[in-house]
């Protein structure tokens, strides 16, 4: 029995994920060979921006507070079927468009209105003009932009943007 303050690490040989429609379920084989089934689970990456493959928290979606079932240290080491099921689930939850070009940023009444090109196509969003609350530098040159709806947009490499986009970004983010 795992105590609430202990981490229960799950290994690839102890888990079996099944995806039916939009529902992900899990069967865990305990150390005593007892199989415990969870008909609906949710996955949360402990490091969703800096390392999406490391430390994946698996939670019981059928329980009100979604208690943690366990953590997988590196889900990319799962077998093909399980890895595909996990990847599909994570893609649904962690859809973060990557900004490839900034068309414009306009400032009005404490808000920034962005028009950008992303890997998912053109997008527009509004961000509060509060750098400390609306942006995160994940690593040097790697930025996370958070809009008024808490949706995230990512700039993977500042240096990969064209000169005009870099100039706009530097101006509004005080880089």
Which tens digits make up the pLDDT trace of 161-170?
Answer: 999 999 999 8
State the virtual CA torsion across 42, 22, 37, 70 in degrees, nearest 10. -20
Q: Give the per-residue pLDDT at 126.
A: 92
pTM for the complete prediction? 0.59
Q: Give the per-residue pLDDT at 2.
A: 56
CA distance 43 to 90: 7
Please state, in angstroms and as integers, the Cα–Cα distance from residue 29 to each residue in 15, 38, 74, following that order.
Answer: 6, 11, 18
CA distance 26 to 38: 5
Residue ranges of the chain with pLDDT lower than 50? Answer: none
In the sheet that holds 121-128, the strands lie side by side as: 99-108, 111-118, 121-128
Q: Give the per-residue pLDDT at 174.
A: 65
Cβ atoms < 10 Å from Cβ of 166? 16
Q: Give the per-residue pLDDT at 45.
A: 85
Q: Give the per-residue pLDDT at 113.
A: 93
């Amino acid at each position: 029995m795992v105590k609430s303050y202990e981490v229960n690490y799950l290994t690839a040989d102890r888990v079996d994920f099944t995806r039916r429609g939009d529902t992900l379920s899990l069967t865990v084989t305990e150390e005593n060979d007892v199989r415990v089934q969870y008909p609906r689970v949710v996955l949360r990456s402990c490091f969703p921006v800096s390392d999406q493959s490391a430390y994946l928290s698996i939670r019981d979606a059928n329980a009100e507070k979604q208690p943690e079932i366990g953590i997988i240290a590196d889900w990319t080491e799962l077998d093909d079927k399980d890895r595909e099921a996990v990847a599909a689930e994570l893609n649904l939850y962690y859809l973060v468009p990557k900004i490839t070009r900034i068309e414009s940023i306009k400032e009005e009444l404490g808000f920034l209105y962005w028009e950008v090109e992303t890997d998912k196509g053109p997008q527009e969003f509004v961000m509060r003009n509060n750098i400390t609350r609306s942006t995160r530098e994940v690593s040097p040159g790697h930025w996370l932009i958070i809009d008024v709806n808490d949706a995230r947009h990512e700039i993977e490499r500042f240096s990969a943007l064209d000169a005009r986009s870099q100039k706009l970004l530097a101006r509004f983010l005080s880089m």
